[in-house]
Amino acid sequence: VISLYFRRYLLMALTSCLFGLSAAVDSKPNILLFLADDLGIGDIGCYGNNTIRTPNIDRLARGGVKLTQHIAAAPLCTPSRAAFLTGRYPIRSGMASSNRYRALQWNAGSGGLPANETTFARLLQKQGYTTGLIGKWHQGVNCESFNDNCHHPLNHGFDYFYGMPFTLLNNCQENKPPELDVALQAKLWLYSQIIILAVLTLTAGKLIGLISIRWKIIACCTLVGSLFFISWYSSYGFVQYWNCILMRNHDVTEQPMRLERTASLMLKEAVSFIKRNRHGPFLLFVSFLHVHTPLFTTAKFIGKSHHGLYGDNVEEMDWMVGKILDSLDKEGLKNHTLTYFASDHGGHLEAQDGSAQLGGWNGIYKGGKGMGGWEGGIRVPGVFRWPGVLPAGTVIDEPTSLMDIYPTVVHLAGGILPQDRVIDGRSLVPLLQGRAQKSEHEFLFHYCGSYLHAVRWHQKNSGAIWKAHYVTPVFHPPGAGACYGKGICPCFGEGVTHHDPPLLFDLSRDPSEAKPLSADTEPLFDIVIRKIERAVEEHHRTLTRVPEQLSVYNIMWKPWLQPCCGTFPLCWCDKEGDSTQSL
């Protein structure tokens, strides 16, 4: 009898638990997404860093689920974020580059996330969500005119946008060396100086009678030289005005932006969005400008960390995360909000100022930002929290992707995935809740631009995580682990090495990719390589040719596309005034 009552009680408890969980999942939670910029997986406490203080991100992990094999679809900002927003490899949307420009270079370029791509924000809009983006966009603005806004966040499902349509650069800070196209600028300066020297030499020779030349020819050379100089200096000479701007919806509010108050403005906007939409449901995507160079950090965080300016910047970002989480608590929304934190790709190893490291740390993983194959470029933090629904303190070692956020939030919102295109992400809901033990990903394809550099095979029946590298960057200097002196490692050309047969690693035994396997050391070598090659062939059959958004023409500065808060070229404004306040 006791056994019978116990079984009945257990059945009732289990039914109640499942019903409560189903009701919670079906109730359209608020969605809060944090995405850091250039943050290394080794930079935060819950992933092993014991010197940079990140208490707020760490409490997210303690109260939720931590992913240890969370993979970006690209090792650079623009393509990675395109994949995050669409749940698709960047090559499917044209956001993967076949040239050396692998990210958008200007607000006034014509490339960007195509209007026919469907973001998770658009699908959540259809489910009654109010959608907002605070922070970095870097997916383009205009296509054909300065106000067509074809690539703008508001044209991709966001009801509200406040932030930077581009990305932070050293050019955005007065006392920093330029960062945008430095090598090309140096060549253009050299050519301009040669032209000036030639014109001066011709003029002097004419005046003293050493050269017999008509003044019209000298005037023509002067005109050509002047036009050449204006043609490039009108863009590269004013990067701070053209790229370093803030927008509210379609309106430019700061041009150029004042970095000393940007963090406060972003935080104020995020907290205000939550307060305005507390009756929900809402989707808020907080896309941090931290921790991209120039690492501008407000005064109260300067010198506070043990890792210089970079550590200070990480700690300021963590403080902002805490303030936004506090606003959820204040509005009583903590238990009804799915919160997610990640980085768009690995830390930037080559970012240095002399001996000072200005980029992140990728822990035990080889490589960093810009490297499409090595783990350090694509393995990122991934943390979920939803009190009462997701089990606290859980660690999941299965392969997951930033592209998985797309089907995950669409599922929770009660939406339906597009049926007219390939969606590469997989819903993480069963895995996060503990109803599934294995990731739905069997293969993940690791691109560098439009070039396939590596492939990961999750052999579920054995637990092995095989990874084959077809192309790897040539480190400079040799053995350095990065491409120092080059900004980032290239994807093709003389700066890479092609491997045939590919380099093979089992990440379950060698996560640092330190010891490549061979047919002599691994009995399954040939079988694994053939399996991966068949997967590559099947993957290639799913690709269709689309316009390349990052072509040289599309990324060029076009003055007629320049967002401007005045009459071009007199673009200067400060509509924010001193609207910031202590938070």
User: Does 444 share its domain with 412?
Assistant: yes
Residue with tokens 């200070």: 312
User: Does 69 share its domain with 125?
Assistant: yes
User: Does 253 share its domain with 307?
Assistant: yes
- Can you point out the beta strands (E) in 182-263? 246-248, 251-255
**pLDDT over 90, % of the chain:** 88
User: Does 215 share its domain with 157?
Assistant: no
User: Does 365 share its domain with 325?
Assistant: yes
Whole-number Å distance between alpha carbons of 176 and 566:
26
The 10s digit of each residue's pLDDT in 440-489 is 999 999 999 999 999 999 998 898 999 999 999 999 999 899 999 888 99
Q: Answer with the one of 188, 211, 243 that is the final residue of a domain.
A: 243
User: What pLDDT does residue 4 have?
Assistant: 42
> Domain for residue 299, yes or no?
yes
Overall number of domains in the chain = 2
User: Does 162 share its domain with 185?
Assistant: no
Q: Binning pLDDT at 50, 70 and 90, where does residue 579 land?
A: low
Asked whether residue 9 carries a pLDDT value surpassing 60, the answer given is no
Q: Answer with the one of 220, 243, 266 that is the final residue of a domain.
A: 243
Q: Which of 77, 143, 483, 564 is catalytic?
A: 77
Asked whether residue 16 carries a pLDDT value surpassing 50, the answer given is no
> Domain for residue 103, yes or no?
yes
Closest C-alpha to 344, from 399, 287, 423, 383? 287
Q: What is the pTM of this model?
A: 0.93
Mark whether 138 is an active-site residue: yes
> Domain for residue 357, yes or no?
yes
Q: What is the CATH number of the domain that holds 523?
A: 3.40.720.10
Q: Binning pLDDT at 50, 70 and 90, where does residue 224 land?
A: very high
The 10s digit of each residue's pLDDT in 525-555 is 999 999 999 999 999 999 999 999 999 999 9
User: Does 133 share its domain with 224?
Assistant: no
> Domain for residue 481, yes or no?
yes
Asked whether residue 96 carries a pLDDT value surpassing 90, the answer given is yes
> Domain for residue 7, yes or no?
no
Structure tokens given for 201: 């030499």
Q: What is the distance in angstroms between the CA of the first residue and the CA of the last residue of the chain? A: 61
Span 252-268, average pLDDT: 96
User: Does 361 share its domain with 407?
Assistant: yes
Q: Which of 46, 70, 138, 151 is catalytic?
A: 138
The 10s digit of each residue's pLDDT in 366-405 is 999 999 999 999 999 999 999 999 999 999 999 999 999 9
- Strand-pair partners of 456: 444, 467
> Domain for residue 452, yes or no?
yes
Q: Binning pLDDT at 50, 70 and 90, where does residue 236 land?
A: very high
Asked whether residue 355 carries a pLDDT value surpassing 90, the answer given is no
User: Does 72 share its domain with 34?
Assistant: yes
Span 230-235, average pLDDT: 94
> Domain for residue 475, yes or no?
yes
Contact between 423 and 417 (Cβ < 8 Å): yes
User: Does 225 share its domain with 299?
Assistant: no
Asked whether residue 571 carries a pLDDT value surpassing 80, the answer given is yes
User: What pLDDT does residue 2 have?
Assistant: 41
Mark whether 448 is an active-site residue: no
User: What pLDDT does residue 183 have?
Assistant: 87
User: Does 439 share its domain with 562?
Assistant: yes
User: What pLDDT does residue 295 have?
Assistant: 96
Whole-number Å distance between alpha carbons of 243 and 7:
66
> Domain for residue 100, yes or no?
yes
User: What pLDDT does residue 578 have?
Assistant: 55
Q: Which domain holds residue 195?
A: 175-243
